[in-house]
């Protein structure tokens, strides 16, 4: 993965093994913290909270809201 320093516009390449755990949580334009040790990036720290926008959802069925565990499938997008 590539990351860009927002002040210097310098790009940093991070090994995919380091990003493996957080790859699904990182979106383009998101601010993350790169933790380095002796010149090598050892961790990508994502924000603890992220704001999502609901892009699409299945319609509800009347009377389903009372049932425990009734859920609709939704599609989310980070912004």
Helical segments of 1-79, H only:
16-19
Tally the residues of the chain: 79
Residue-number span of the structural domain to which 66 is assigned: 2-78
* Number of domains within the chain: 1
Q: Strand pairing partners for 52?
A: 78
Q: How confident is the model at residue 11 (pLDDT cuts 50, 70, 90)?
A: very high
23-47, pLDDT tens digit by residue?
888 888 889 999 999 999 999 999 8
> pTM value?
0.64
Alpha carbon 14 to chain centroid, angstroms: 16
- Are the CB atoms for 47 and 30 separated by under 8 Å? yes
């Amino acid at each position: 993965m590539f990351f860009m320093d927002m002040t210097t516009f310098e790009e940093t390449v991070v090994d995919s093994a380091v990003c493996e755990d957080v790859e699904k949580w990182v979106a383009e334009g998101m601010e993350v913290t790169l933790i380095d040790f002796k010149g090598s990036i050892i961790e990508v720290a994502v924000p603890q909270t992220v704001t999502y926008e609901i892009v699409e959802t299945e319609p509800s069925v009347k009377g389903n809201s009372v049932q425990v565990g009734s859920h609709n499938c939704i599609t989310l997008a980070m912004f």
